[in-house]
């Protein structure tokens, strides 16, 4: 869908390029043609005491998403990366949610406007999922670490999305075959911004609310055990939980899958 020269992520395979970009982004970068999961690799580096690092892959053989689901992307189509941040922030779950704001901002800088956010960690274009994030806390070592994994569908064609095409999209399908290396750099800067300052975190939370696709609408929230709760998605609380106005009164939801009803 896009000319190969427009996408430069593969240049990270070259040690000289990698070290130049590492200097620019202020941390080591590991680039894999294929790895089980960038998240598992980054977690094991964090467990071993490594400082801030980005693990990026062209393809994952065992990529995973939230709630144990698989994250599948054909090689060379996506930004698949995990960042180790130190120290471990006090609110790792909030950080996973705010990663969506970082993705939306980075995409906007590359000309992909109007990304919307679906609670808790999805980024959407034209109402379909284009990116997701997950966060793991690693407590070994002195200050602990946050391992943040993000997958962005960048260059997939509709055929490459297969059955997922009803619910998912890619930047290219939306008319924006962005350079994954530029996206990696801009996203890293946006994540740093949110990670380093509580004030930035507060303004990112406000931006999350402004970009929310479901606030003020009737939704169903399904928990991991399958229990469903219906109500009006009233607000995003400061701790990242979703406040649902149900027939029995307000309920604070900490985890689950949201879908629109009606
Ligand atoms: C979700 O929406 O369920 C979260 C998806 C997170 C996927 C990314 S891809 C890079 C990193 N490595 C993984 O195995 N998962 C995350």
Predicted local confidence at residue 111, as pLDDT: 97
* Residue 134: HSE in the Cβ half-sphere, 13 Å Cα cutoff: 19
Does any ligand 1 atom lie closer than 6 A to the CB of residue 151? yes
Predicted local confidence at residue 189, as pLDDT: 98
Whole-number Å distance between alpha carbons of 200 and 123:
19
31-35 long-range CB contacts below 8 Å, 24 or more apart? 31/56, 31/57, 32/56, 32/57, 32/58, 33/57, 33/58, 33/59, 33/75, 34/58, 34/59, 34/60, 34/61, 34/75, 35/59, 35/60, 35/61
Candidate from 55, 58, 62, 63 with most ligand 1 atoms within 8 A of CB, to mutate: 63
Predicted local confidence at residue 47, as pLDDT: 94
Give the distance (Å) from ligand 1 centre to CA of residue 246. 31
Does any ligand 1 atom lie closer than 6 A to the CB of residue 132? yes
Predicted local confidence at residue 5, as pLDDT: 59
Whole-number Å distance between alpha carbons of 54 and 29:
5
Does any ligand 1 atom lie closer than 6 A to the CB of residue 82? yes
Predicted local confidence at residue 142, as pLDDT: 73
Does any ligand 1 atom lie closer than 6 A to the CB of residue 156? no
**Distance of CA 83 to CAs 1, 114, 124, 139, 180, Å?**
28, 25, 21, 15, 16
Nearest CA to ligand 1 atom 14: 63
Q: Are the C-beta atoms of 12 and 165 separated by less than 8 Å?
A: no
Give the distance (Å) from ligand 1 centre to CA of residue 40. 10
Does any ligand 1 atom lie closer than 6 A to the CB of residue 133? yes
Nearest CA to ligand 1 atom 16: 149
Whole-number Å distance between alpha carbons of 231 and 217:
8
Instruction: Identify each DSSP E strand in 86-217 by its residue range.
Output: 116-118, 122-125, 128-138, 145-153
Q: Is 189 exposed, middle or buried (0-12, 13-18, 19+ CB in 10 A)?
A: middle
Q: Which atom of ligand 1 is found nearest the CA of 40? A: 14
Residue-wise pLDDT tens for the chain (262 aa)?
A: 545 559 999 999 999 999 999 999 999 999 999 999 999 999 999 999 999 999 999 999 999 999 889 999 999 999 999 999 999 988 888 999 999 999 999 999 999 999 999 999 999 999 999 999 999 999 977 789 999 999 999 999 999 999 999 999 999 999 999 999 999 999 999 999 999 888 999 999 999 999 999 999 999 999 888 899 999 999 999 999 999 999 999 999 999 999 999 7
Whether residue 62 is preceded by a cis peptide bond, meaning omega within 30 degrees of 0, is: no
**Which run of H or E residues covers position 112?**
none
Does any ligand 1 atom lie closer than 6 A to the CB of residue 80? yes
Predicted local confidence at residue 1, as pLDDT: 52
Predicted local confidence at residue 3, as pLDDT: 55
Q: Are the C-beta atoms of 39 and 134 separated by less than 8 Å?
A: yes
Nearest CA to ligand 1 atom 7: 151
Other C-beta atoms lying within 10 Å of the C-beta of residue 53: 21
Whole-number Å distance between alpha carbons of 125 and 132:
12
Rg over alpha carbons for the chain, rounded to the nearest Å, is 18
Output the CA torsion sign for 125, 128, 130, 134: positive
Give the distance (Å) from ligand 1 centre to CA of residue 83. 12
């Amino acid at each position: 869908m896009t000319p190969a020269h427009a996408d430069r992520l593969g240049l990270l395979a070259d040690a000289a390029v990698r070290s130049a970009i590492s200097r620019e982004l202020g941390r080591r970068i590991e680039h894999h043609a294929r790895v089980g999961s960038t998240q598992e690799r980054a977690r094991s580096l964090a467990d071993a005491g490594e400082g801030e690092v980005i693990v990026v892959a062209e393809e994952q053989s065992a990529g995973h998403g939230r709630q144990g689901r698989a994250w599948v992307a054909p090689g060379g189509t996506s930004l698949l990366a995990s960042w180790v941040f130190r120290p471990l922030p006090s609110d790792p779950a909030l950080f996973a949610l705010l990663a969506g704001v970082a993705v939306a901002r980075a995409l906007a800088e590359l000309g992909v406007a109007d990304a919307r956010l679906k609670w808790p960690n999805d980024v959407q274009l034209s109402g379909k999922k284009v990116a997701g994030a997950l966060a793991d806390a690693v407590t070994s070592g002195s200050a602990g670490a946050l391992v943040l994994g993000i997958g962005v569908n960048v260059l997939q064609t509709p055929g490459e999305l297969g059955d997922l095409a009803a619910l998912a999209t890619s930047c290219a399908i939306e008319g924006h075959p962005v350079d994954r290396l530029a996206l990696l750099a801009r996203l890293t800067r946006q994540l740093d911004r949110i990670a380093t300052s509580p004030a930035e975190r507060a303004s990112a939370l406000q931006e999350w609310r402004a970009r929310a696709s479901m606030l003020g609408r009737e939704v169903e929230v399904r928990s991991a055990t399958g229990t469903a709760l219906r109500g009006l998605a009233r607000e995003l609380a400061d701790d990242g939980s979703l406040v649902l106005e149900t027939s029995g009164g307000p309920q604070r939801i900490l985890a689950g899958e949201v879908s629109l009803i009606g």
